[in-house]
Amino acid sequence: MIKIIYKIKPIFILIFLLLFSFLMYFPGLHGDYVFDDIANIIDNKKIAISALDYENLKSAWYSGDAGPLGRPISMLSFALNYYFTGFEPFYFKLTNLFIHLINGLLVFIISLKLFQWLSHQYQRIPLQSAVYLACLVSLIWLIHPLNLTSVLYVVQRMTSLSTLFGLFALAIYCFWRTRAITGLNTIFALCGVALSLLASILSKESGILFIPLIYWVELIIFQAKNLQFQPIYIKKIKLIHMLWGGVIAAGLIFLYLLPPYLNPVNFTRRDFTLDERLLTESRVIFYYLKMTFYPLLSDLSLYHDDFTISKSITQPITTLYSFAGLLGISLACITLFKKHPMLLFAWGWYVVSQLLESTFISLELVHEHRNYFGIIGFIVAAVYYIAQIKNKKIQPFIYILSAIYIANLAWTTWQRSEIWSNLVDHAVYEAAMHPQSDRANYQLARIYMKLMQNEPNSQQKMHYAQLAQHALNKAKKSYIPANGAWFAELHLASYLGNPVSQQTINELIWRLEYKPFQNSNVSFLSTFSNCQINGFCKVPHEQAISIIAAGLDNKGIDNRLKSEIYKLLTQYFVGVISDFKKGEEFMQHAITLHEDVNGRLLFSQVYRLQGKLIEAKAQLQRAKEIDTSRVWAKEIAIEQRNIDNAMLTGKRANHES
């Protein structure tokens, strides 16, 4: 069988594995947006560009608010998707799939270069097998079910696009290191690596991890040796010693830069402390490893908010076991480095890949896409060691097991893809597999509410309403419930024409005031406020105001979020009660706490609606001044026209009188 495979040209194998991977994901392309796709894509009006001109593209470039850099390249890619295909999710997911396939090709190229080098250096695998082993690595990575969320969860293009540029940088580096080094190709290589890394970081901040990953490949694979596998010296000092010294120096720099991230204030809007996060992540790593080597459909999920938080080193006891396991694996890999360097390579690659999102930064605890490029090292090492098995009795058995394992990966990915192809099936499945997940149950309730609204049969409509209420009750009793279920109950009661439960209102106000105030609360409050303004929601005004304002008394809320709440209060008082005086007061609070273009535009609108056009123009002028990148040029132009029209109308009225 192996001899037959060796007779097939690698290009045909590559084409086959790309087509096969495409087919595995194809059912899921017909699914809808999930989780925070709507908030990041549909609700981001700056993505909906109308022309490929400088102003539109720049507006899209600066439209992101995720991470410290805004991830502009990813946002621009979403805008281009919209321009050519609209907001149809199929084409957004299709673009993600093509990015994934390109990444698979890059994984092939990198693996090929590594296997060729290892074949020359250690002579444990035949050189002619390197290209076929690289194809195998690419196939396993492409169809691994753990990577599905980076393809079908649209907003995670940020991860896959960042990985594309990062892998491209690594591929350039590997090409450069495995050729005769000249001044010219060194300049081209360094420029290519630098530009690719920059693009990776501007797609998502985790792209910065490809810098230490390239360093790691040099340290463990190339080992600072030339093409004759002789140590490279710089002024009589071995380069490898300098590189290991660089690891120590990087560690010291890391410790120096670390303290600001350890401030407990960073965790006030989380349901865990810094200590609890670090303890929990030790178990999360082993959860990831389980899904990497033994992926079960029941474990794999879009939602992992039901993962138990470690309260101490022994609560739960698996925390202690996890720390011991991490230490044991690290020591074993270091001890076996001389005989089995690929073990340390794979483990180190994975550890580096988790440094940003699974350590001390105040992020959510578990997400599958954090393993997207992290599992590559394990696959390369596994294929490398399996290829070294020469025992004729064991070899067929290993090959059969490997084939079954790969087939199971493909089957699991295809099953997930089928589940993701239907929003209702997906929601039911997630809630069934993760009954303690607030998000899974809340999403299921939202789906039932949509079905209820679209159902003409009154009896079936009530059935959906009951199912929605049941899912909301489960969300409220989940491991760590957010506030979505309480807000959804307000919408459900209003739709059914039922009186809103006073208990629901009281609980919601208390939770907004005393529970960690997460960013999602602003979105919930905004939706609720608009629902009230449009007259759909029927919560009495005093109680509605109490709900919107409750977060202002939350001790963990920052000025930016307080400012957003004051903006919502402004919109509510102006839109529902027509109390412009209060609206002005709230807007003054909002811009004092956190001045931004959106706030100044809203303030301008409040003045304009009252006919205070001079004050409105002053607010608009301030909006122009702080919009240094001209990201809000469209909105500012619209408000300018509205003010001009209002002034013209006023002049006509005066003239007629």
Residue 570 domain-assigned (yes or no): no
Residue 98 domain-assigned (yes or no): yes
pLDDT tens, 357-400?
A: 999 999 999 999 999 999 999 999 999 999 999 888 898 999 99
Q: What percent of the chain is predicted at pLDDT more than 70? A: 98
Residue 403 domain-assigned (yes or no): yes
Residues 113 and 211 in one domain: yes
Question: How many separate domains does the chain show?
Answer: 3
pLDDT tens, 271-318?
A: 999 999 999 999 999 999 999 999 999 999 999 999 999 999 999 999
Residue 299 domain-assigned (yes or no): yes
Rounded mean pLDDT, 61-75 = 91
Residue with the bigger pLDDT between 634 and 509: it is 509
The candidate with the shortest Cα–Cα distance to 139, out of 298, 21, 12, 8, is 21
pLDDT at 1 over 60: no
pLDDT at 452 over 90: yes
Band (563; pLDDT cuts 50, 70, 90): very high
Q: What percent of the chain is predicted at pLDDT more than 90? A: 82
Instruction: Please compute, for residue 94, the number of CA atoms within 13 A of its CA located in the half-sphere on the CB side.
Output: 10
Residue 434 domain-assigned (yes or no): no
Band (265; pLDDT cuts 50, 70, 90): confident
Look at residues 365, 384, 418 and tell me which one is the last residue of a structural domain.
Answer: 418
Residues 291 and 251 in one domain: no
Highest mean pLDDT among 44-48, 286-290, 631-635: 286-290
pLDDT of 8:
76
436 token code pair: 């303690």
14 token code pair: 């590559």
Look at residues 391, 418, 445 and tell me which one is the last residue of a structural domain.
Answer: 418
Q: What is the DSSP letter of 315?
A: B
Cα 83 to Cα 53, 79, 80, 362: the distances in Å are: 12, 6, 5, 35
Instruction: Please compute, for residue 359, the number of CA atoms within 13 A of its CA located in the half-sphere on the CB side.
Output: 12
Mean pLDDT, the chain, integer = 93
Cβ-Cβ contacts under 8 Å for 102 (sequence gap 6 or more): 164
Residue with the bigger pLDDT between 23 and 652: it is 23
Band (4; pLDDT cuts 50, 70, 90): low
Band (65; pLDDT cuts 50, 70, 90): confident
Band (630; pLDDT cuts 50, 70, 90): confident
Residues 247 and 156 in one domain: no
pLDDT at 266 over 70: yes
pLDDT tens, 588-601?
A: 999 999 999 999 99
Residue with the bigger pLDDT between 603 and 9: it is 603
Residues 177 and 244 in one domain: no
Rounded mean pLDDT, 317-339 = 97
648 token code pair: 């013209």
pLDDT at 657 over 60: no
Residue with the bigger pLDDT between 518 and 99: it is 99
Rounded mean pLDDT, 428-450 = 96
pLDDT at 6 over 70: no
Residues 344 and 231 in one domain: no
Residue 622 and residue 598 in contact, taking contact as beta carbons nearer than 8 Å: no
Domain that holds residue 647: 595-657
Residues 104 and 150 in one domain: yes
Residue 203 domain-assigned (yes or no): yes
Residues 39 and 171 in one domain: yes
Residues 164 and 175 in one domain: yes
Look at residues 390, 418, 446 and tell me which one is the last residue of a structural domain.
Answer: 418
pLDDT at 48 over 90: yes
pLDDT of 654:
65
Distance between CA atoms of residues 497 and 231, nearest Å: 79
pLDDT of 180:
84
Residue 473 domain-assigned (yes or no): no
The dihedrals phi and psi of 233, each to the nearest 5 degrees, come to -110, 145
pLDDT at 631 over 90: no
Highest mean pLDDT among 178-182, 268-272, 382-386: 382-386
What H or E segment, with its residue span, contains residue 237?
strand 237-238
Q: How many CB atoms lie within 10 A of CB 232?
A: 15
19 token code pair: 């087509």
Residues 96 and 55 in one domain: yes
pLDDT of 581:
93
What is the distance, to the nearest Å, from the Cα of residue 193 to the centroid of all Cα atoms in its chain? 24
pLDDT of 207:
97
Identify the weakest region by mean pLDDT among 232-241, 360-369, 501-510: 232-241
pLDDT tens, 197-224?
A: 999 999 999 999 999 999 999 999 999 9
pLDDT of 262:
87
Of the chain, the end-to-end C-alpha distance in Å amounts to 95
Residue 233 domain-assigned (yes or no): yes
pLDDT at 463 over 60: yes
Identify the weakest region by mean pLDDT among 9-18, 237-246, 515-524, 648-657: 648-657
The pairs formed by 208-214 with CB atoms below 8 angstroms and a separation of 24 or more are 208/356, 209/166, 209/352, 209/353, 209/355, 209/356, 210/166, 210/167, 210/169, 210/170, 212/250, 212/352, 212/355, 213/166, 213/170, 213/349, 213/352, 213/353, 214/169, 214/170, 214/173
pLDDT tens, 401-412?
A: 999 999 999 999
pLDDT tens, 69-113?
A: 999 999 999 999 999 999 999 999 999 999 999 999 999 999 999
Band (526; pLDDT cuts 50, 70, 90): very high
Residues 218 and 250 in one domain: no
pLDDT of 595:
95
Residues 203 and 242 in one domain: no
Residues 227 and 368 in one domain: no
DSSP conformation letters of 507-574: HHHHHHHHS---THHHHHHHHHHHHHHTT-----HHHHHHHHHGGGG-TT--HHHHHHHHHHHHHHII
pLDDT of 236:
85
